Structure 1
């Protein structure tokens, strides 16, 4: 097991930061950090994402990773910037070498048993079940878990505060939560209270 996995399990929730500007992404992280979150996935769809990862990784209280990583070259850029985990919503074996060389954690995406097996065979430390909600949600994770009891699953896509406990009960080690936490409309409007209220609700349910 990768040494970062216990910390990810403890966090339970990984905010998936996907915004149209780096400034909004940085604002989202700052507000969510104030609300008590410490682990963040910065997707490569955010403009100048590696530079943002570098800035965030300078904070020793944060564990920062990169999401939607398209290829090994992009992975290397993110790892050089300080990313501690690399996430792709598909199986890409070319990501394994740079991630392992950096000592980082690799999360590869899968939906079916065949894809889960391929992800693990490729060298994934975590299997990202994506998009989780559209293929059965917690019930789908439970079915995968019955076949792969030792695999670390992280469902993402349609996860919200209300269904996090269901995913954990189904066998997920932790979850990725995107738009339900990182609502760009609220960030653009400067509505810090609403963003932090959503984070506090999610954290409160998980801790309970």
Structure 2
């Protein structure tokens, strides 16, 4: 599975910050049941790697790691069974290691220079991050214009209300968001929010 296929799987990729690995599997089950199969577990908590292992056991789930900023973290994610990598930015050192591994990779970009660095590595799929504070949809459209092959997943400040406008831009294949899994939400509520998110671009 390549990164384009992963990005086209559903309109929204939940960006997950998991403090307790015990909730990882039921959370993944709720999200997949609601139609969101691609799950990004951010490496912002000590529980993240165990959460990836738990979520991997859910049929239909495609589980990757976000906030990957070093080759050590990349190796830890691979050991945990991660299927794709998302990073907040793009460096040649980390990018080259991931590209050479063949693991699907979605690096963060915010400038034309970032995209050109990605092009040098053979990359054409990017996370626009942080989307809203980097100028929003207007900025992404301006950035995308010189790079006709590039496709994007905006993340950072995207809401259920704003997602449809982003998704209407043809170069946006999906968006990343955390609104699907609000803190303390019951699993039936998560499933309902996932179903609504999955339907944003039918």
Q: Do residues 199 (structure 1) and 198 (structure 2) align?
A: no
**Change in CA separation of 1:24 and 1:140 when aligned onto 2, cut-off 3 Å:** farther
Displacement of 1:159 after TM fit? 1.5
Q: Do residues 3 (structure 1) and 2 (structure 2) align?
A: yes
Across the aligned residues of Structure 1 and Structure 2, the Cα RMSD in angstroms comes to 2.1
Distance, in Å, in 1 between the alignment partners of 2:105 and 2:32 is 23
TM-score norm. by structure 2 comes to: 0.88
> What residue in structure 1 maps to residue 128 of structure 2?
129
Q: Would you say the 8 A contact 2:28–2:61 is kept in 1?
A: no
Distance, in Å, in 2 between the alignment partners of 1:154 and 1:128 is 5
Q: Would you say the 8 A contact 2:32–2:60 is kept in 1?
A: no
TM-score norm. by structure 1 comes to: 0.85
Distance, in Å, in 2 between the alignment partners of 1:24 and 1:125 is 34
Query: Structure 2 unaligned runs (5+)?
Result: none
Query: Structure 1 unaligned runs (5+)?
Result: none
> What residue in structure 2 maps to residue 142 of structure 1?
141
Please give the per-residue CA displacement for 1:5-34, whole angstroms capped at 9, x wherever unaligned. 124213221111113332344443232122
Distance, in Å, in 2 between the alignment partners of 1:135 and 1:200 is 29
> What residue in structure 2 maps to residue 174 of structure 1?
174
Task: Single out whichever of 125-134 and 95-104 deviates more from structure 2.
Answer: 95-104
Specify which structure has the bigger relative contact order, considering alpha-carbon pairs within 8 angstroms and separated by 6 or more residues. 2
> How many corresponding residue pairs?
201
> What residue in structure 2 maps to residue 93 of structure 1?
92
Q: Would you say the 8 A contact 1:32–1:195 is kept in 2?
A: yes
Aligned with 1:166: secondary structure? helix
Where has structure 1 moved over 6 Å in runs of 4 or more?
none
Displacement of 1:47 after TM fit? 2.0
Q: Would you say the 8 A contact 1:54–1:81 is kept in 2?
A: yes
